[in-house]
Amino acid sequence: MAEIFVFALLSPHQVLKASSPLLAMHIPDGFLSLPISLLTWVIAIGLIALALQRVQRDLKERAVPLMGVCAAFIFAAQMINFPIPGGTSGHLLGGTLAGVLLGPWAGALVMTVVFIVQATLFQDGGLTVLGANILNMGLIGTFAGYYLYKAVRSVIGFNTWRGMATGAAIAAWVSVVVASLVCAVQLGLSETVPLQVAIPAMLIWHVLIGIGEAMITLIALSYIWRTRPDLLYDPPHQRVSSPRSLLPR
Amino acid sequence: MLLHISSFQLDIDSQRASPWHQLVPQTRVLCALLFVFATALTPNGHWWTWTIYAIGLAIGIRLSRSTLSVLLKRVAIESTFLGVVLLGTLFRQGGTVLWQWGSLQITTLGLMILGSVAFKALLCLLMLNLLVLTTPVPALLNALIVLKVPPLLVAILASMYRYIAVLIEEFQKMRQAATARNLMRYSRWQRLIMGNMIGSLFIRTYERGDRIHQAMLSRGYTGLPPAVTFSKVRQPDIKVLTLTVIWLLLGQIIYL
């Protein structure tokens, strides 16, 4: 996440060119201080242990193949660049999408696995700050994102596409913005970047990124809602409404 | 995101013979972990600590006979994030002001943090790249099991690693199909197609997961990965590990 907000200073065109492979949402090694690293690691390890337990219980011996391919799916989805309104491009972070599709525990586990592989094999995000990255995107992005989505969906209409769409879009946007805010605070508290610089820079950039995230999450979910609603973690009880096809005719 | 997608084989130097390669994978992982944590969590400004660590790392890289050009190229790609700290440096208060232009200023404190973070990040990247370049992924995963990472987590990691390339290829096929049908012309269309592709990719993924599960069951899978044989820890492993710990402590003692 850290490398993103340097782009806040560049023009959209430069961002488009520069950001394509580098728009990762990960803090590198050496950016967080000892107390912040330790604290976030402790929380992250607790989350991983709980998620493993729940997933093992719910999925039994399906856990390994299913979680494995789903993690690979999020990994692949994160590589896809798409244009964001306003001339820049971004890519999916996928926390809320994973939560909506797989549920909070499996979703958080999948995101965690993605981060571990990115940090260990591709040095995308550091090892000492892996706890922070898991906390920001796994716990806040996926777990909190899922419950926000579910709350909004229940209020507007659990079985309607409108409820589904509103819930997912709001959750996707909020989770990205809040995760970036927490990341900025972590960088600030570690005194790597002054707080009054980190927060506005991260927020401005991620308010935009969040719009892209919400749009792509929404379109992907509309496809699944139309074709295989039974695959959603909370499938609609009966087909009440179906979204208009988003494809141009 | 995936910076090294063009070179999907990561462990290009894993077949060499060197003192580093004689170590069992878990020793290498443990050395790398200790090194990275010690380096990254040292408070800013401890230059001598990192200098000592850098000397140790240089000896390690020399001994491992890994391909320097590849190592440096990978580190260079991964170092682009340093721009963030640079940005922070420009707006930081505190210390002596060396240069000022409007609200932008460079202070001694800012420079100290910039230098420290860059040094730390660089050392960590070098170490981790050395590990990944010289150790095949299956060996890394085995090492994780020996180091008491939950087997379920390692099994999921292994199964994910196996399918990354498959899913990326599947996605690229879909994108090629869309491009061939001239569907990528406008950004509005592009978003819709990409979103639909992700949705469709998920359905395919989920079904693939079920098929993999069936295939695993038919081959006698019971819920836990088959036991692997571990390479035994030998004399040199213990020596290197002790040496690493002493070296890391030496770096810290200077500032006590």
* Tens-digit pLDDT profile for residues B96-127: 777 777 667 777 787 888 888 888 888 888 89
Instruction: Give a yes or no: residue A242 inside a domain.
Output: no
A65 closest CB neighbour out of B129, B152, B209: B209
Q: pLDDT class for A91, splitting at 50, 70, 90?
A: confident
Q: Report the number of distinct structural domains present in chain A.
A: 1
Beta strands in chain A (DSSP E): 81-84, 88-91
Q: Name which residue leads in pLDDT, B128 or A198.
A: B128
> Would you say residue B240 has pLDDT above 70?
yes
Instruction: Give a yes or no: residue B242 inside a domain.
Output: yes
Residues B45 and B119 in one domain: yes
A69–B132 CB contact, under 8 Å: no
> Would you say residue A160 has pLDDT above 80?
yes
CATH number, domain containing residue A102 = 1.10.1760.20
Domain that holds residue B31: 19-137+231-253
Residues B101 and B41 in one domain: yes
Instruction: Give a yes or no: residue A142 inside a domain.
Output: yes
Instruction: Give a yes or no: residue B12 inside a domain.
Output: no
A223–B200 CB contact, under 8 Å: yes
Residues B30 and B129 in one domain: yes
Query: How many interchain CB pairs under 8 A, A with B?
Result: 281
Q: What mean pLDDT comes out for the span B222-243?
A: 77
Residues B157 and B78 in one domain: no
Q: What mean pLDDT comes out for the span A180-207?
A: 85
* CA of A109 vs chain B CAs: smallest distance (Å): 9
Which of A26, A64, A193 would you mutate first to test chain B, the one with the most B CBs within 10 A?
A64
Residues in a beta bridge with B104? B101
Residues 6+ positions from A20 with CB-CB distance below 8 Å: A81, A89
B152 closest CB neighbour out of A63, A122, A129: A63
> Would you say residue B201 has pLDDT above 70?
yes
Share of chain A above pLDDT 70, in %: 83
Q: Report the number of distinct structural domains present in chain B.
A: 2
Q: Give residue-wise pLDDT tens across range B49-82.
A: 888 899 989 988 888 888 888 888 878 777 776 6
Q: What mean pLDDT comes out for the span B150-174?
A: 88
Cα A85 to chain center, whole Å?
Answer: 19
Q: What are phi and psi of B145, to 5 degrees?
A: -65, -45
Rg of chain A on CA atoms, in Å: 18
Instruction: Give a yes or no: residue B155 inside a domain.
Output: yes
B contact residues 40-79, partner A, Cβ 8 Å cutoff: 40-41, 43-44, 74, 78
Residues 6+ positions from B82 with CB-CB distance below 8 Å: B117, B118, B121
> Would you say residue A109 has pLDDT above 90?
yes
Q: pLDDT class for B142, splitting at 50, 70, 90?
A: confident
Domain that holds residue A226: 2-231
Share of chain A above pLDDT 90, in %: 37
Residues B124 and B84 in one domain: yes
Q: Name which residue leads in pLDDT, B99 or A249.
A: B99
B37–A128 CB contact, under 8 Å: yes
The complex scores an ipTM of: 0.85
